[in-house]
Structure 1
Amino acid sequence: MKKTVSVIFFLTSIIAFSQGEANIWYFGQNAGIDFKSGNPIAISDGQLNTLEGCSSFSDANGNLLFYSDGTTVWNANHVSMPNGVFLRGDSSSTQSAMIIPKPNSTTEYYIFTVGSLPGRNPGFNYYTIDMSKDSGLGDVVAGPIDLNEGRADEWSEKVAAINGEECETFWVISYVSNEFKSYKITKNGVATNPVSSIVNYTAQDRRGYLKISPDGKKIAIAHMADQQMILYDFDNSTGIVSNQQFLNLQAPSNKPYGVEFSGNGEKLYVHATNDFYSDDFIEWNNPSNHFSTLYQFDVSLPTIQEINNSRFEIDSQNLYRGALQLGPDQKIYRALSASYNNGGSYLGVIENPENDGLSCNYKHNAVNLGTKKSTQGLPPFIASIFYLIEITNEASNEIITNQSIKLCTGSDYTFNAQSLSGDPVFNWKYKDSIISNQPSITFSNIQKSEAGLYKLEVDLVDDCDKIILYKGEFEVEVFDPPVAPTTIIYDQCDIDENSLDGVTVFNLNSKIPEITNNDSNLEVTFFESEEAIENNKPIENPTEYITASNPQLFFKMIDTRSDCFAIESMELNAYPTSLDIYNNIYVCENDLGFDTETSSGSGNGTFDFEAKRASIDDIFFNYDIIVEFYENSQDAQLQTNKIVGIQDYSDMEIYVRISNKDNNNCISAGKFNLVVNEIPLPNSVNENVILCIGNKEDAPQEYTVELDGNTYVQGDQFQWYFNNTPIANATNPIHFANKEGQYQVIVTRNFENDLNTFIDNSSCNGFSKFKVVASNIPVIYSENVLIKDDSDNNTILINPYELGIGNYEYSLDDYYGTYQDEPYFENVSAGFHTVFVFDKNGCGFDQLEVSILGFPKFFTPNNDGTNDTWRIPGANTDFYPTSNIYIFDRFGKLITIINPNSEGWDGTFNGKLLPSSDYWFSVELIDKQGNTRLKKGHFSLIRR
């Protein structure tokens, strides 16, 4: 299919140069380049040696006139001009000088100088140079003219220039604090009253470039240490700057310095750095302390948000700050310096500045400067010098100047130049030969042999009576359009809710691999008619296109490498379908209790769809088919969300799509069920099962405990295991365990899965585990109890290892009281106590009465019910069958003998009250085991 493209060339009256004026550059440490041959050639005859500011200017034929660093003006013989020294610029200023030809003069030029820091020639001044003087080598005949308005110490290091809209006018723009100053230059000279544009930003740093786009519409300013890069609109009819827009830079390279527009003004490039600043020049000159990034912004976009979103990092590496400058060859050159005064031997170059992102083709060490060095600066020029003819697509309004356009073999193309006032002469060139002098050229049935570079040169006398040479060029690449297959048939099985009406859904995108032969460079779009193709109205949702049989649907195949395309038709056929029924798949429910004590059904089963695929494939053994599974009929028709491999599902219906392997057309469709058989869930317990086995003194006998693994489902089969070994004849739901260990019941449930004559006899298992722990009643004996009495801290200690095999707890004197795990009691009072020992597992308890002896220090026989007698707590004939307890007065006279079972001595002798005094005792106690306890001491009788 052929297509026709119309292109318009927009020419404006703002250009008054042939670009030869920018042919020779001097910069850096005696470096230079010459563009006369079309490519930059290194030259080394310059006297200029500067770290930053520089400027140069040639005649229309590219012959050098003079150059400057802002303090000295050198002529074409590289000798300083008369009066051309000690100008008020500064070589350390970012843009130390700008050269402007005086309108309507063939010999006079202005050089505007920009100073640096206070104390180093700050401010803005200009001088007049007359090239008719000094035998045509020039003389600085006037100046300096002060333009500072008394604000020299505030002035920035920036200057830029552009042609004015009026004939024979220029604008020179500089910047101070928060104002742009636009000075108009006419045949009458420099207007000393500038147009002031106050902006909503006050700069703190003087450094960084100021540039105007070649079409005079935009202005960009870099405030380096402020970390601000700002874009404005410029009106070359009034000199007004407006519409402030901040550009976002990415840390650490967020200190902008070099700035430049592409020739068509659509792209802005920024060289930003993170320069290390200190007073230590050793640090300044260490390349590792500097890192720079080259950014691209698309400033043709309508909003600042879109412009910022277009930011692209072209290059990042260890570099010092550097200038960017558009050349007469429409390439942008980049100053490369490793550190403050460590220059580079090369210039970088952006080969195609109008292209997006990396396609701008940046080359780092592109221009060899020989023995000379590039530092931070490059010479600025009047931006209009580099203005390009805008070549635009008439249909899309896309500018293609300096672009590479892709055309398709066999198609027709027409390129037109806009009518111009006056008598323009058009010269279209191909391979350096003029091919047409008409405003248009036409390619008919273009072939690959016609690829290459096309140039247009237009000679015109403009309204200002200036002879202007306009230039534009574009590169043509010619590609073959893709070859589309002429026979595409899409057979679809109707398997929706009404599978017999012949109307179904087609996933047109599923045919793309067949259409493109799996070529990823080809894109396919579908259309319902030729009219839809003409109006570019593709089918909106090709993945869900609903129709009956359609004998002619169209597709457009585009090669993304060239945008060449081919259009063909395809046939859709919708076949009513009676869904085939395939054997169901039965599986057991997945058991979530694998690592637990009992089975737990998940509700899902694991299905092997690959095995099912193989079984269906066997049915169609005579065909080369593809078998696919889907969860619903729509997915099956659209061939989306295929089920593959081994997957978990609950009970559900599955759809089968059977397609021809060659063209993916549907041959048959069917369905089957996924059936999940529930696993049996026997009873379980969440804790140990206790087997009580009596006490250690009982005669040997068998004890059992009930384990209940019932499922309450008739037909379930049971098998019990002990420590993973089957228990013979243990096949009942309930098992009586007779020893400690791990028990498990495995329950088998059989299923008869009968559907459509397909029977799969299967069984599913579930389990429960029971941990049986043996325990017994404790047995406590007096010999297993250690008593410490007659002390400040009476204690009872029970030997737990002699009690039995249970897990025991202990209490003193209180059957219903608080029990403790430790068999030890402290601070026990003298007297008789009962120790209780309980089995925590619930198998029973035992108790023992113990005696704690005490020998009171006094008694008070006053019948108040407290300490009325003296006796020995913890002593009686049960614990001590033999006892001798004697009481004496202080003279050794025997007063009485006490029976341990009695109430004790009441303080009398022969019926008479004895006086308060100290009395002595002698005690001998013999327990049942024959152990003798002797004790002697004294106590007090106190009468109150």
Structure 2
Amino acid sequence: MIKQLLFALCIITSISLYSQKEANIWYFGRNAGIDFNSGTPVALNDGLLNTDEGCSTISDENGNLLFYSDGINVWTKNHELMKYSDGRLANNLQGNPSSTQSGLIVPNPEDSNIYYIFTVGTNFIGTGSGYPNNPGFNFYTIDVSKGTGGEIISGPINLADGKDFSWSEKVTAVQGKDCSEIWVLSIVQNTFYAYKIDKTGVDFSNPITSASSYFLSDKRGYLKVSPDGTKVALADYTSDGSGRLVLFNFDNSTGKITSNGEILTNGSSDGAPYGVEFSQQSTKLYSSLYHPDSNSFRIFQYDLLDRDIAQTKTQVWSESGFRGALQLGIDGRIYASIPGKSYLGAIENPEDNASDIRFTSNAVSLGSKISSQGLPPFIQSFFAPVKLINIATNEVLNNSNQVFCIGDSYTIEPEKNDPLDTYTWFKDGTQIASTRSLTVDNTNHGSGLYEVKIESASECKKTFTGKVQITFEPKPVINTISTYVQCDFDSNPIDGFTSFNLELLEADLVNNSTDLTIEFFENSDSSFSTPLNKNNYTNTIATNHSVTVKITNNTTKCYQTDVINLQVNPTGLTSYSDEYVCELDENATIPNAKFSTGSNNSYFDFSIKTQQIISNSDGALSETSHDFQYYRTTEDASLQVNQILPPYEDDIFINNSDVFVRISNKGANSCEAVGNFKIFVEKIPEPQGNLEGLILCVDNPRLTPQPHTITLNADTGNSSDIYKWYLNGSLIIGANSAAYNANSAGEYKVEAYRKHPNIDIPCLGYNTFIVKESNQALIVNIKSVDDQDNLDNNKIEVTVEGIGDYEYALNSTNLSDFVKGDENLNYTFTNIPPGLNSISIRDRNGCGIVTSNQISTIYFQRHFTPNGDGKNDTWRVLGVDNDYYQLVKVQIFDRHGKLINEITDKNHPGWNGIYNGTILPTNDYWYNAELLDINKKIRKKTGHFTLLRK
């Protein structure tokens, strides 16, 4: 709320601050105008001026319009064309509405009836308007007491020094060192011309020239002097956007440019500067630029107080559109012409830093009239306020609403000091003093708008004013607090010096620290130049000492001070019994954790220690009368920082940690004693476990009761540890040893408990065993398929039962020969060789191998080739030459049914294709076979085969 009030007062103050009303009325653009006489600019619609750029207006010291001009025409306050003394109409001056600053009106410093119009032309020749080719730099003299609004009594007088065509479109003016002279300044090429005006008129014969190393690229763009008369800003506008903004130093006592010029813009990227303007306090410079590539109108700010002004360039506004002028108003705002708009833009707070600038595009309505490119220039000194100074601080008070503090007295006076001048002070319009200096406090005058009027004793008889809004605000209230007593328990507990944390006092010193700055100083530091380190301050006087606290309101800057007493008590460290805690389990927060992992740290419930200390104090201590604070280091305990606070689970300690307890009177910074103890962290037991799974081999089929067991060994290595066993979450009654013989599958959790003499609850560690059951396979079926059309198609299918993980091998028990099938309980072997075969099944969990009985596989050959090559030279039944078969009878017939051979020996090498010594030809032959196995089963088979001769 205070900030809002101060801002509102600041706006009111800035509107009322300056008495120079010669710049109260403006005419510009397409018949546009504004009037500042009410304090807020109001649109005028009676102007006859219609111009692209150049325009100029002047009022009297009371803000009444005198006349205005576009550099060609001059209109009186009655909006009629002014006349020359000889009766001619004043419609042919040597300016040009298309010239940037076609005209500038300057009063005679000491004759209120005499004014001068300075005109600059342009190379542009207006079609059908009779505008002359650039006539250079000229001036005219006007007497406003003549005629019905003034007459031109002389002119033009050419000041162009023979450089008419080259002359720029720039002209500005500023007051000299005192009110009796004014400098009018213009430039051609690289040379500035300054003409002094005093009570005798314009000294046009003796211009002050200043050559610069900077040559103009073009004639267009504004020229302005800072209100304090120290700087000159030149906008060198070019159509291609490559122009420059140049800043010069100016001496308003000599009229000389005193520097070569500092280039502030980069034309290729920034655009071409057109308008320029200074803030009232001459601390900020603004430039308006047009960038042709992006068709954008931009405004930049420069901080003139910075050592590297060019580097402070900051864009504060941009939008699409053509170039426009900037002009300071009597209200302290800088106005921007935005071509083609029915309003003016405004920089609301030109004195602020760029990041805080507020630009309002439609700040002033022009009614039905339209702005063009130009705005009327004035003598820049019109906008320079009389500075009011706070004598104690030498601070300029005009810049903003001034907050003074209730209870303090202030002396203010104007910077302007002439013993012959007359000074009159007003508060809220009522005269209160007639002295140069004014003493103000909250009782003699109080809050209000203070104004000093200075009647100049010089011949110019000017009246200068300065105003400042003053608001008295209360100082912060400081509560009375008791002496800050600190225990001296450092390396020298009797020297009377120790550390204080003054910051702890702040909550008691003020009821609400919002928007307050609290600082502490040695009492001898009366200028408050060296704030103490309030977080860690060591007293400079032994035992009893005091410091000063300064509490400042950050908004009002009002402050209050008080003295804080400090006292040091010689205090040694009291040793308390050490504490022991069990190590924390890192896996405690993991749901269904299988094992514990020691963290090497733990926490401690300090409320237990507090009760222990109270119990041992013989009634001297209690939680009602004393505060007990715990810290990790002596420094923390001394400064009362990083206190260990509930919930204590958040404060973790490693083994052999120090803890310090500070005991003080309840609700006071009065240290009674400091003690220390250690925290020892005891390791939790580490029982063994096995999460990969242990195999318990059981019978197949599983017997009931199941007789087999597997030993689970959880031994921690500490014989005094106590154990509990759980199966699938249920306690196993009577299982209290480090080892347990498990006889079933499941999840076995073991807890190990370790007692410690100084810990009430035993330390707990746990682990888990996963036990899985398995067994040998039980063969339930073997199916053999043989005697196929192709020997490779013979196969054996085996099916088993069991709970193991099985793999299969043919005619082998070597581990490398076992293979795992797609299904656990059956497997099919293919490409079975003729003869006796067996299948072995292995439990991959290690519960053994089972092998089937021998399986007979036979094959009746489909052809043979008795050519003596050792391959298929005979025909026989393959796979019967073993103990499985007892009797074999095979008869062979030709195609006509004639018996041509008979085999009765199972080891017979086979028929060789010869009958009674005759080699039989290639042909099909038939067989009839009967096979008797050891089980007395007869297998019969008939078929045919082919004898091939190759």
Could you tell me which residue of structure 1 aligns to residue 529 of structure 2? 536
Q: Residues 913 and 491 from structure 1, CA distance in 2 versus in 1: closer, same or farther, beyond 3 angstroms?
A: farther
1:512 aligned partner: 506
Shift in Å, 1:807: 1.6
2:642 match = 641
User: What is the CA-CA distance between 1:640 and the residue it aligns to?
Assistant: 0.7
Query: Are 2:745 and 1:726 equivalent residues in the alignment?
Result: no
Q: Does 1:656 align with 2:684?
A: no
Instruction: Please tell me whether the aligned partners of residues 160 and 381 of structure 1 are also in contact (alpha carbons under 8 angstroms).
Output: no
| Partner residue in 2 for 1:238 | 257
Query: Are positions 1:161 and 2:172 aligned together?
Result: yes
Asked whether the 8 Å contact 2:241–2:291 carries over to 1, the reply is no
2:543 pairs with one of 534, 546, 549: 549
CA distance in 2, matches of 1:379, 1:864: 127
Contact (CA 8 Å) 2:124, 2:134: kept in 1 or not?
no
The total of aligned residue pairs comes to 880
Deviation at 1:628, TM superposition (A): 1.8
- Does residue 667 (structure 1) correspond to residue 667 (structure 2)? The answer is no
Instruction: Report if the CA contact (8 A) 1:482-1:566 is conserved.
Output: yes
Structure 2 spans left out of the alignment, 5+ residues? 1-17, 83-88, 197-202
Match of 2:204 among 188, 202, 206: 188
Aligned CA distance change for structure 1 residues 724 and 28 (closer, same or farther; 3 Å): farther
1:110 is aligned to 118
Q: Shift of the alpha carbon at 1:549?
A: 1.0
**1:526–1:542 CA contact under 8 A, matched in 2:** no
Match of 1:6 in 2: none
| Structure 2 CA distance for aligned equivalents of residues 934 and 626 of structure 1 | 108
CA apart distance, 1:441: 0.5
Match of 2:447 among 444, 451, 461: 451
Matches of 2:838 and 2:71, distance apart in 1:
114
Q: Does the alignment pair 1:597 with 2:594?
A: yes
Which position in structure 2 is the counterpart of 1:762? Answer: 761
Sequence identity of aligned pairs in percent?
29
Give the superposition deviation at 1:636.
0.8
Which SS does the other structure have where 1:602 is aligned? coil
SS in 2 for 1:509: helix
Post-superposition shift, 1:698? 7.8
Indicate which of 680, 684, 706 corresponds to 2:685: 680
Instruction: Output the amino acid matched with 1:217.
Output: K
Larger CA deviation: 768-777 vs 485-494: 485-494
Compared with structure 1, are the counterparts of its residues 865 and 355 closer, same or farther at alpha carbon in structure 2 (3 Å cutoff)? same
Partner of 2:469: 475
Alignment of 1:433-444 (within 5 A): 440-443=436-439
The equivalences for 1:39-58 within 5 A come to: 39-48=40-49, 53=53, 55-58=55-58
Judge conservation of contact 1:887–1:919 (CA < 8 Å) in 2.
no
Tell me, what secondary structure is at the counterpart of 2:499?
strand
The residue correspondences of 1:796-875 to structure 2 (distance < 5 A) are 796=795, 798=797, 802-812=800-810, 815-817=814-816, 819-823=818-822, 828=831, 830-831=833-834, 835-848=839-852, 859=864, 866-871=871-876
Q: Is the 8 A contact 1:885 1:924 kept in 2?
A: yes
Aligned to 1:282: none
2:214 and 2:862 mapped to 1: Cα distance?
108
- Following superposition, the deviation at residue 419 of structure 1 comes to 7.4
* 846 and 76 in structure 1: CA distance in 2 versus 1, 3 angstrom threshold: farther
Deviations, residues 193-234 of structure 1 (Å, cap 9, x unaligned): 9956549x999xx99977653234263869999799967444
Whole-Å Cα distance in 1 between the matches of residues 938 and 226 of structure 2? 120
Cα separation, partners in 2 of 1:614 and 1:19, compared to 1, 3 Å: farther
Distance 2:521 2:329 in 1: 48
Residues 1:32 and 2:18 aligned together: no
User: In the alignment, what sits opposite 1:3?
Assistant: none
Tell me how far apart the structure 1 counterparts of residues 285 and 422 of structure 2 sit (CA, whole Å): 32
Matches within 5 A, 1:353-392: 353-354=350-351, 378-391=375-388
Tell me the amino acid that sits aligned with residue 532 of structure 2: I
> Which entry has the higher C-alpha Rg, 1 or 2?
2
Q: In the alignment, residue 445 of structure 2 is paired with which amino acid?
A: S
Structure 1 728/601 Cα, relative in aligned 2: closer, same or farther at 3 Å?
Answer: same
**Structure 1 position 503 matched with structure 2 position 497:** yes
Q: CA deviation at 1:742?
A: 1.7
Amino acid at match of 1:837: I
What is the distance in 1 between the residues matched to 2:165 and 2:929?
A: 122
- Report what 2:9 is aligned to: none
Change (3 A) 1:933 1:306: farther
Shift of 1:709: 1.5
Which whole-Å CA distance do the structure 1 matches of 2:66 and 2:860 have between them? 131
Give the distance between the partners of 1:34 and 1:826, measured in 2 at CA: 112
Secondary structure (helix, strand or coil) at the match of 2:382 reads helix
In the TM superposition, what is the alpha-carbon distance from 1:770 to its structure 2 partner?
Answer: 1.6
In structure 2, do the counterparts of structure 1 residues 537 and 240 end up closer, same or farther at CA, with 3 Å as the change threshold? closer
Report the Cα distance in structure 1 between the residues aligned to 2:520 and 2:862, rounded to whole angstroms. 115
Counterpart-to-counterpart distance in 1, 2:171 and 2:929:
125
Change (3 A) 1:604 1:145: same
- Per-residue deviation, 1:258: 7.2
Q: Match for residue 325 of structure 1?
A: 327
Q: 1:110 is matched by which residue type in structure 2?
A: F
> Do the aligned residues in 2 keep the contact of 1:775 with 1:806 (CA within 8 Å)?
yes
Give the Å deviation of 1:576. 2.0
CA contact (8 A) 1:404 1:474 kept: yes
Q: CA deviation at 1:299?
A: 3.4
User: Quick check: 1:457–1:469 contact (8 Å CA) kept in 2?
Assistant: yes
Q: 1:39 to 1:147 in 2, by over 3 A?
A: farther
Cα distance change, pair 450–357 in 1 and its aligned pair in 2 (3 A): farther
Give 1:683-698 correspondences, 5 Å limit.
683-696=688-701
Q: Partner amino acid for 1:670?
A: G
* 8 Å CA contact 1:412, 1:442 repeated in 2: no
Task: Please give the per-residue CA displacement for 1:613-638, whole angstroms capped at 9, x wherever unaligned.
Answer: 57767973474433321111110110
Partner of 1:577: 571
Cα 1:552–1:422 change in 2 (3 A) is: closer
8 Å contact kept, 2:585–2:599: yes
Conserved? CA contact 2:49–2:70, under 8 Å: yes
Deviates more, 1:135-144 or 1:616-625: 135-144
Post-superposition Cα deviations, 1:282-304, rounded to whole Å, max 9, x if no partner, equal: xxxxxxxx9x9988764323345
The CA deviation at 1:940 is 5.1
Give the C-alpha shift of residue 264 in structure 1: 0.8
How has the CA–CA distance of structure 1 residues 616 and 938 changed in structure 2, closer, same or farther, with 3 Å as cutoff? Answer: same
Pairs within 5 Å for 1:72-221: 75-78=76-79, 84=91, 97-101=102-106, 106-112=114-120, 130=140, 131=142, 161-163=172-174, 168-172=182-186, 184=194, 187-188=203-204, 198=214, 212-215=225-228, 216-217=230-231, 219=233
Aligned: 1:632 with 2:633 = yes
Measured after TM superposition, the shift of residue 672 of structure 1 is: 3.8
**Aligned equivalents of 2:242, 2:610: Cα separation in 1:** 65
Are the equivalent residues in 1 in contact too, given 2:544–2:566 (CA < 8 A)? yes
Written as runs of structure 1 = structure 2, the 5 A alignment for 1:395-410 is: 398-410=395-407
Contact 2:327 2:376 in 1 (8 A): yes
Query: In the TM superposition, what is the alpha-carbon distance from 1:24 to its structure 2 partner?
Result: 0.7
Structure 1 residues 371 and 151: CA distance shift in structure 2, 3 A:
closer
CA contact (8 A) 1:789 1:830 kept: no
Deviates more, 1:700-709 or 1:217-226: 217-226
Separation of aligned partners in 2, 1:396 and 1:684:
80
CA RMSD of aligned residues (A): 5.4
**TM-score, structure 2 as length reference:** 0.76
Cα offset, 1:726, TM superposition: 1.4
Local SS of the residue matching 2:584: strand
Deviation at 1:896, TM superposition (A): 3.6
- Which whole-Å CA distance do the structure 2 matches of 1:701 and 1:324 have between them? 104
Q: Matched residues in 2 for 1:124 and 1:293: separation?
A: 29
Query: Matched residues in 2 for 1:788 and 1:379: separation?
Result: 121
> CA shift at 1:561, angstroms?
3.8
Q: How does 1:736-747 map to 2 (within 5 A)?
A: 736-747=741-752
Residue 48 of structure 1 and its aligned partner are, at CA, apart by: 4.8
CA separation of 1:480/1:863 partners in 2, compared to 1, >3 Å: closer, same or farther? same
